Amino acid sequence: MFDWIASPESWIALTTLVALEIVLGIDNIIFVSILVSRLPDQQRELARRLGIGFALFTRLALLFSLSWISRLTEPLFTLMGHEISGRDLVLIIGGLFLLYKSTKEIHSIIEGAEGGMDARVMESLIGTVIQIGILDIVFSLDSVITAVGLVKELAIMSLAIIIAVGVMLLSAKSVGDFIDQHPTLKMLALSFLMMIGLTLIVGGFDIEVPKGYIYFAMAFSVMVEVLNIKVRKKSEKDNSG
């Protein structure tokens, strides 16, 4: 079971898989951060830990159900001329849910700003964790399928997932706080979640959108917005001085 430890190729595979799992977990972190921001301050850390802990459980459970995952690619029915498998169905439903939640959150922010009401209506801890859990299943499926396709050693896949989820847990609070402090970044993050939702839906119809393009666009947009934030801060400082 641990023979791979002495193999340099295995360590290269582990490093590559950890990097991929962390990249694939970015949208999960953003989604968790936005949902948790609607909870009272004293409940946010607990919800964050429960949500990401559920992500770890889901990924490992799917990983140890490799035979079930392989059957997910078998067609169940035909829709609009496309054969829909179990995996496709999960992606389509997950994409629709992500679109719904992102649109609802954007509407809440805009209506709250225009109507003078508090846009951050407090939600229940259990409801938030359930919503995180639903999307965890979708994101976990994508993550585990990537792991299975890249590495054949179960121990390497398990370790990569545990490390990646650990990184998610450590970075989720700082990401969430940063998004909370900058409303424009929150709107940008929600827009990308909508784009990811659409990507999941079209992926369910076997239309593959290269993830590299999406993550590059996200990174570039965030970089531009961070520069805008610095410009605004400098302008405010000059005006106050």
What are the tens digits of pLDDT across the range 143-201? 676 666 666 677 777 888 888 888 888 888 888 787 777 777 778 878 887 888 888 88
> What is the value of pTM for the model shown?
0.66
Q: What is residue 6's DSSP assignment?
A: G
What is the C-alpha separation between 64 and 134, in angstroms, rounded? 19
How many structural domains is the chain composed of? 1
- Those residues with Cβ within 8 angstroms of residue 192's Cβ, 6 or more apart along the chain or in another chain: 27, 30, 214, 217, 218, 221
**Mean pLDDT value across residues 124-139:** 79
Q: Which residue range is the domain that position 11 belongs to?
A: 3-240
Kindly report, residue by residue over 75-106, the tens digit of the pLDDT: 777 777 778 887 788 778 878 887 888 888 78
Bridge pairing between strands 82-85 and 75-79 = antiparallel
User: At 45, is the secondary structure helix, strand, or coil?
Assistant: helix
What is the C-alpha separation between 28 and 5, in angstroms, rounded? 30
